[in-house]
């Protein structure tokens, strides 16, 4: 055996521990091929849009008429196009999180990972913040970051620098929609995975929250002929709030952005309560 040596040094703030939790979780995701498949899907969508913007810029320069014709289809460069792109990316993220949730959060409750974390020099809040930031980072890397890159590409290739100055709402929309997706998905996944830690039940619950609840909301809307029932659909609420961020939401239709924001806030608050209750219930010493 090697001789044991002592360690002396200044200890860093516990918030560095939060960062370590985020980094470790991202490493765990990147080590599994199944996640690379889903990340690859997101990347394909991004590369398609990236190439299309380049193509459009080239056509605009070489054939103005064809460029104007393409502009009629609003495929890129405006709020609706970015919102649609983010929505597609968010769907892939939701699928990835459905499978990653069990590993990133559920495993902590199945195999005593929470005890491992909480017996160190961090408090419960650092652990919760680390896990939430981890999920939010995954969402941001797959949705917000590629959209920002497309926004910059479009600005630099298809127009003058004025594009950025003329469309501040688009930038705000990307950041706003990205924040909505990151906050809601991270809180929801943490809450579900903490209480339903096993992979299959977690995947079913997670997808049920989006797919089944969406179908239920649609059914209730058509039965009662009342669009307010659509508020039940978390996915729809996020989408409508995203469109509002981009300024492309039809204000005449209910539910309004305010109603969606209220519904999502209530959902996030409920998730937070569930998370704190679950984390508090963990006994470090049994």
Q: Measured from the CB atom, is 16 or 48 closer to another protein?
A: 16
CA 262 to chain centre: 19
Beta carbon nearer to another protein, 104 or 180: 104
Distance CA 169, CA 178 (A): 14
Provide, rounded to whole angstroms, the least separation between the CB of residue 101 and another protein. 13
- Compute the least distance from the CB of residue 266 to another protein, in Å: 31
Query: Cβ closer to another protein: 29 or 231?
Result: 29
> C-beta of 5: minimal distance to another protein in Å?
6
In this structure, how many other beta carbons lie within 10 angstroms of the beta carbon of residue 2?
4
Binding site for another protein (CB under 8 A): 1-9, 11-14, 16-17, 20-21, 24, 27-28, 31-32, 103, 107-108, 110-113, 115-123, 283-286
Taking CB atoms within 8 Å and a gap of at least 24, the contacts of 42-49 are: 42/89, 42/92, 42/93, 42/142, 42/146, 45/85, 45/88, 45/89, 45/92, 46/89, 46/146, 46/149, 46/150, 49/76, 49/85, 49/150
The tokens 């209530």 sit on which residue?
266
Q: Which of 246, 252, 116 is nearest to 171 (CA)?
A: 246
Q: How far apart are the first and last CA of the chain?
A: 32
Query: Looking at beta carbons only, is 13 or 222 nearer to another protein?
Result: 13
CB of 206 to another protein, least distance (A): 19
Of residues 14 and 208, the one with the C-beta less far from another protein? 14
Task: CB nearer to another protein: give 180 or 282.
Answer: 282
Shortest Å distance, C-beta 110 to another protein: 7
The nearest distance, CB 20 to another protein, in angstroms, is: 4
């Amino acid at each position: 055996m090697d001789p044991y040596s002592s360690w002396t040094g200044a200890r860093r703030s516990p918030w560095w521990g939060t960062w370590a939790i985020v980094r470790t979780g991202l490493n765990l995701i990147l080590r599994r091929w199944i996640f690379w498949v889903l990340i690859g899907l997101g990347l394909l969508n991004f590369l398609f849009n990236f190439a299309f913007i380049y193509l459009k810029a080239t056509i605009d320069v070489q054939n103005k008429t064809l460029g104007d014709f393409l502009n009629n289809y609003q495929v890129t460069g405006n709020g609706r196009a970015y919102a649609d792109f983010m929505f597609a990316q968010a769907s892939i993220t939701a699928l990835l999180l459905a499978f990653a949730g069990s590993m990133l959060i559920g495993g902590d409750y199945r195999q005593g990972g929470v005890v491992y974390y909480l017996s160190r020099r961090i408090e419960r809040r650092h652990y919760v913040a680390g896990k939430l930031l981890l999920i939010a980072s995954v969402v941001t890397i797959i949705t917000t970051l590629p959209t920002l890159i497309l926004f910059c590409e479009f600005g630099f290739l298809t127009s003058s620098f004025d594009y950025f100055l003329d469309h501040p709402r688009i930038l705000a929309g990307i950041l706003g929609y990205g924040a909505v997706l990151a906050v809601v998905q991270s809180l929801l996944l943490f809450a579900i995975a903490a209480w339903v830690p096993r992979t299959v039940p977690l995947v079913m619950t997670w997808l049920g929250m989006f797919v089944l609840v969406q179908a239920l909301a649609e059914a209730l809307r058509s039965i009662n002929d009342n669009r307010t029932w659509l508020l039940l659909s978390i996915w729809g609420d996020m989408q409508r709030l995203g469109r509002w961020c981009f300024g492309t939401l039809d204000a005449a239709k209910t539910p309004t952005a305010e109603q969606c924001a209220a519904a999502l806030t209530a959902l996030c608050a409920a998730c937070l309560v569930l998370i704190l209750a679950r984390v508090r219930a963990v006994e470090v010493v049994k």
